[in-house]
Chain A
Amino acid sequence: MTQIISLLTSAIVFGTVILYGAVGEIFTEKSGNLNLGVPGIMYLGGIAGLATAFFYEMYAAEPVGWIGLLLSFIAAFAASALAGLIYAFLTISLRANQNVTGLTLTIFGAGVANLFGGSLNAMAGGVGQISVATTSRAYRAYIPALSGLGHVGQLLFSFGFMAYLAVAVALFASWFFNRSRVGLNLRAVGEDPATADAAGINVTRYKYLATCLGAGVSGLGGLYYVMDYIKGTWSTDGTIEALGWLAVALVIFATWKPARAIWSAYLFGVLYWAYNYITGLSRASIELFKMLPYVVTILVLVAVSLRRSREAQPPKSLGLSYFREER
């Protein structure tokens, strides 16, 4: 029982990282923009949050946890949204190829983040030395009374606030796309921009806003990873990038539905960590297990394609740029 709870707990932590990435990317993709820069954006969110917290803790006489949290949260969101803005400008205004732009953004984000991450480490006194303990503690704070309620308590209440925020954002997104007027307009933009345009919707504005806000949300995944998952440190092992790609896979797995992304993210977490709870695995089979999330994504793609369900398809104009007077 303890083992299962422990697996589920680590699955939720793992899932939260990619849930942010995926929900942000769903926002972006619903506007018809396929942003493959998610890993880079998560990198940028992570490093922006970490750097902000680091300098705050370095220069404040007595660093206060929640101030560090607030500052780093804003910085992470802003940096990621800015990356989204770059992508939006290139693909929407200049009509650059979306795949190329996205992949470039991934490389750019990883490079920038590791450059600053390494520099911060050096400033802090050497490899692996950086730590923003105060801020990270604020991120990881939970209500002890509730988490003490046995297994259930541990499973439901032992996480930092961002794990719950991720679920809230996903549920909000689900409501937004299906019920709200603006969400409906956004879906129309991603499905058929010419139709949206003819209906009087400002396609360019919707695309810009969705792409920037979506990138902002994706970047929070990187922040959560840095502050909570690895407890306010920096490592250049490329895990964020791997998680970023997993977030992109999760969008497909969840068939562009944010509510589905919640449990799918946790399922990915279970699949990813399962090797830890199966005894007697060799190193090679561990890597095989880590592959499982990608394998199930492919299976879902196959199943969706076979069923030809109209509801489980990507937005119709995904990856295409829009120009009104094109003939």
Chain B
Amino acid sequence: MTDQFAVRMVDITKSFGSILANNKVYLELRKGEILSLLGENGSGKTTLMNMLSGIYFPDDGQIYVNGREVTIASPHDAYRLGIGMVHQHFKLVDVLTAAENIALGLPGGAVVDRKAIGRKVRDICDRYGFVVDPDKKIYDMSVSEKQTLEIVKTLYRGAEILILDEPTAVLTPQETEKLFAVMRNMRNDGKSIIIITHKLNEVLEISDRVTVLRKGEYIGDMDTAKADARALTDMMVGRTVTLNIQRDEPVDPQRRLEIRNLTVKDKEGVTRLDDISLDVYAGEILGVAGISGCGQKELLEAVAGLQPTQSGSSVKYRPTGPEGPAEELIGQNPRTIAEKGIRLAFVPEDRLGMGLVANMTLVGNMMLKEYRSGKGPLVERRHPHELAEQVVRELEVVTPSIDTPVRKLSGGNVQKVLVGREIAMGPTVLMSAYAVRGLDINTSYTIYKLLNEQKKAGVAVIYVGEDLDVLLQLCDRIAVLCGGRLNAILDGRTATKEQVGYLMTNMKDMSGEEAGA
């Protein structure tokens, strides 16, 4: 009976510190099938697969391969069991050639026989329809070539079970089609494949079966033939939870930021933000929803002057409403923006990397924003000192003293210090990314309250979030990003969780299909 399963993972549990990444997860992979592992970011898909490929070791649970219970302590063990994983971040050495990368870690003679490798690579390519040049250096390769090489590498090592971690995230539609064709060839050849993804259309197109995870827990699985996008979305995002977050009607919202045709490409030339046009109003909270990595970071950083943009992009700042004077923010940096008197507060995702300096004290971190303002060669210490005391008092920061390095504070207190500092400058625009990530319930409500106070004070608030319940109950409007594009702007009062979840995973106008919104 168990013989029909290539892999069974039972009651797998894994935690990182206090975060439970996988909680009693169940997964089965039948021989010769393509299984989609579906879930939002942070739902524990990659963690689960990393345990199957030997990168992490489970805290608890059993793994069966071909019906036999196994222990996978290292990637080497995984290869011995015929399991190969293509990671989202490619595991390739830049300065080596394709053939050399394939040879890494393999047993064999003292000298690497590049010709023999080249022959075998060509065999694999011919069999499944890949194109790989064994002598090409990795740094000369495109993303799609690298991915192809990764798959060839696992096949070269005799993998019968392949795991692909979000393989289409970096591919163009044409390349995705090619990948799917190759995947079907491999399945027809008897390989079992797991594809990690959060794109519903791909799940429906390529897989035979789908397993859904949510917040580290196993939700269920079903045959793809019986599934539809709506049912899968519901499984992914779950039931609506009432949070009782206060939300007042915006008072006299004035347009404060006009984002027009904002396009951002990363270092590899991949488009991260595609022609975004969006207005942000004073006195309201604009939510930004999307699977993580769909352009949220780039959007905030472009406004803050931290992100190079493509030409044609524009972000106009209007301090006194739509008819008042405008200031172009694109092409400026945080310093020039501040010097123009624009009070732009930014609570970034990476609190101790971008937001605060971990080794500096509370006072020192307060000083970072105003050290230039003092007269004379010495920094002015009194005001930051008072500010630190005020933040600690008003936000109930738990700290031994204001001279404690912030790295010694807990996550919630770090966030309070950061938000407190940003609010203290009396901002006109407040941007926050994942402001409550990792915080306990009480601290989260403190943050919501602070954001609401800012909204009431006429600040234009942008709230990038991942918890749809919070977005729906806190924000006045919700912009949904999907793969770097603006999919829809919804009214926070009428939108439903399913609707947002669906828009996050399905681009509305792709291939002429209308989303059932």
Contact = CB atoms under 8 A, between A and B. Distances in A.
Interface in B57-72: none
B112 A187 contact: no
A313 B137 CA distance: 15
Interface stretch (B103-111, B346-354, B464-472): B103-111
B55 interface: yes
A182 B53 CA distance: 23
A324 interface: yes
Query: Taking each of A185, A188, A310, which has the highest tally of chain B beta carbons within 10 Å of its own beta carbon?
Result: A188
Nearest to A176: B110
Interface string A271-305: 00000000000000000000000000000000000
Contacts, number: 78
A180 B110 contact: yes
B74 interface: yes
B75 A199 contact: yes
Contact of A185 (B85, B94, B104): B104
A311 B95 contact: yes
Interface string B72-104: 001110010000010100011111100010011
A325 B17 CA distance: 11
B139 interface: yes
A199 B139 contact: no
Contact of A310 (B56, B74, B112, B139): B139
Contact of B94 (A182, A196, A310): A310
B104 A196 contact: yes
A179 B108 CA distance: 13
A200 B74 contact: yes
B95 A191 contact: yes
A316 interface: yes
Query: Taking each of A192, A199, A311, A327, which has the highest tally of chain B beta carbons within 10 Å of its own beta carbon?
Result: A199
B75 A198 contact: yes
Contact of A198 (B87, B94, B112): B87
Contacts of B105: 185, 188, 196, 199-201
A185 B79 CA distance: 17
A82 to B, nearest CB: 27
B93 A324 contact: no
Interface string A127-170: 00000000000000000000000000000000000000000000
Interface majority SS (helix, strand, loop, mixed), chain A: helix
A199 B93 CA distance: 11
Interface size class of A (residues with CB under 8 A): 20 to 34
Nearest to B76: A200
A180 B55 CA distance: 27
Contacts of B108: 181
A100 interface: no
B103 A184 contact: yes
Contacts of B79: 200
A327 B75 CA distance: 17
B2 to A, nearest CB: 27
Given A181-B103, A181-B108, A195-B91, A324 B55 contact: yes
Interface string B124-142: 0000000000000101000
Interface in A45-73: none
Contact of B93 (A187, A200, A327): A187
Contacts of B139: 310
A191 B104 CA distance: 12
A170 to B, nearest CB: 19
A196 B94 CA distance: 12
A302 B109 CA distance: 40
Contacts of A196: 93, 104-105
A324 B104 CA distance: 18
A74 interface: no
Nearest to A175: B111
A179 B103 CA distance: 11
Given A191-B93, A327-B16, 5 more contacts: A188-B104, A195-B91, A198-B55, A198-B87, A199-B104
Interface of B: 16, 53, 55-56, 74-76, 79, 85, 87, 91-96, 100, 103-106, 108-112, 137, 139
19 contacts: A179-B111, A180-B110, A181-B110, A184-B103, A185-B105, A188-B96, A188-B104, A191-B93, A191-B95, A194-B91, A196-B93, A198-B53, A198-B55, A199-B75, A201-B104, A201-B105, A310-B94, A310-B139, A316-B95
